[in-house]
Amino acid sequence: MKSKILGMGHYVPEKVFTNDDMAKMFDTSDEWIQKRTGIKERRFVTESGVGASDLAVPAVKMACENADTDVSDIDAIIFATLSPDHIFPGSGCFLNQKLGLPGVPALDIRNQCSGFLYGLQIADAWIQAGMYKRVALVGAERHSAGLDFSDAGRDVAVLFGDGAAAAIVGPGDGTDTGSGVIDIEVHADGEGAKLLWIESPTCTEWEWLDQSMIDRRATYPAMNGKQVFRWATSKMPEALRSVLARNGYTIDDLDLLVPHQANRRINEFVAQKLQIDPNKVVHNIQKYGNTTAASIPLALSEAIQEGRAKEGDLVAFAAFGAGFTWGAGLYRI
């Protein structure tokens, strides 16, 4: 049986950091950030002791409310994040405890900006196999804890924001035409692994964290922005074309494209390449920056809440991120 998203939810921290706030910390400007990325502001957690699993709690509760489901009905958790609370155990275990779900399995996945698509593919397969009935698929990030707020890290620090979103995935209505997942494809190419990564702490050395790693700022994310841009604008359209063709649809059949929010310029480039009506493309990067695994579900949750994604709509998802990983999906609302 096809799976469907029974309800979506999202949560972002209250504290807004504008581009001007970023310019107080290092050498940048509102003009540079907006022109290159489309970002105006992002949300950051400012309290200590708050991790991705904490941001996920209200997102899951909202998703359950929208799904008309009790939190206690959740029978599996998939937690997508690149900024886990701790190196181990996975944030899914912390979330399991915070939701009061002892015994419910919790799987962490590490697919960065493509995490929601990888997770939805797994949830869909579990539901189709009859293994679970209410999967909480979560994307949550607390990037603010790991960004280099100095001139050296300004290319990356301006891009990211904190946030969480969740989908409760369950069985569809049993028809081929009803609401639900139509198809998802995901990919990876480790050739790009070091083009967007955090080198340390690393379990490839005798000490996973030493002073030299800190001194050369290897503990902060590093990115080859031009390569990421080039790959993203090639792989997202490729995956979208592939998933549409395999299912007998064309670009014109799409009602909405909900892409990963890495950079507004990337998404405008992808839309132009595919000749998608710009009005059909969802952008919220101006408000939240890049929230990585939370980005697609956050944009979808808002689009549903605002009535922009309506019952019967054909929605496409597209993602590209560290790994490199990428993918595309088709979904009937």
Q: Are 16 and 103 in contact (CB under 8 A)?
A: no
**Shortest-Cβ-distance residue relative to ligand ACO:** 225
Report, in Å, the least distance between residue 276 CB and ligand ACO: 19
If the CB atoms of residues 50 and 223 are measured against ligand ACO, the closer one turns out to be 223
- Alpha-carbon gap, residue 121 to 110, rounded angstroms: 14
Report, in Å, the least distance between residue 283 CB and ligand ACO: 13
Half-sphere exposure of 284 (CA within 13 A, CB side): 22
**Catalytic residue (choose from 10, 19, 64, 260):** 260
**Catalytic residue (choose from 111, 263, 284, 290):** 290
171 to 2, 118, 136, 209, 290: CA distances (angstroms): 6, 18, 13, 45, 30
Q: Are 77 and 107 in contact (CB under 8 A)?
A: yes
Terminal C-alpha separation, the chain: 16
If the CB atoms of residues 98 and 110 are measured against ligand ACO, the closer one turns out to be 110
**Who contacts 147 (Cβ-Cβ below 8 Å, separation ≥6)?**
153, 156, 157, 160, 220, 221
170 to 131, 258, 282, 304: CA distances (angstroms): 11, 21, 25, 18
Report, in Å, the least distance between residue 100 CB and ligand ACO: 33
Report, in Å, the least distance between residue 197 CB and ligand ACO: 11
Report, in Å, the least distance between residue 102 CB and ligand ACO: 35
| β-bridge mates for residue 139, sequence order | 80, 165
**Who contacts 182 (Cβ-Cβ below 8 Å, separation ≥6)?**
2, 247, 329, 330, 331, 332
If the CB atoms of residues 130 and 226 are measured against ligand ACO, the closer one turns out to be 226
- Alpha-carbon gap, residue 163 to 15, rounded angstroms: 11
Catalytic residue list contains 10: no
**Catalytic residue (choose from 113, 143, 263, 267):** 113
| β-bridge mates for residue 77, sequence order | 106, 136
If the CB atoms of residues 166 and 294 are measured against ligand ACO, the closer one turns out to be 294
Catalytic residue list contains 93: no
If the CB atoms of residues 92 and 161 are measured against ligand ACO, the closer one turns out to be 161
Q: What residue ranges bind ligand ACO (CB under 6 A)?
A: 28, 32, 36-37, 113, 154-155, 158-159, 196, 223, 225-226, 228-229, 232, 262-263, 265-266, 290, 320-321
The residues annotated with a catalytic role in the active site are 113, 260, 290
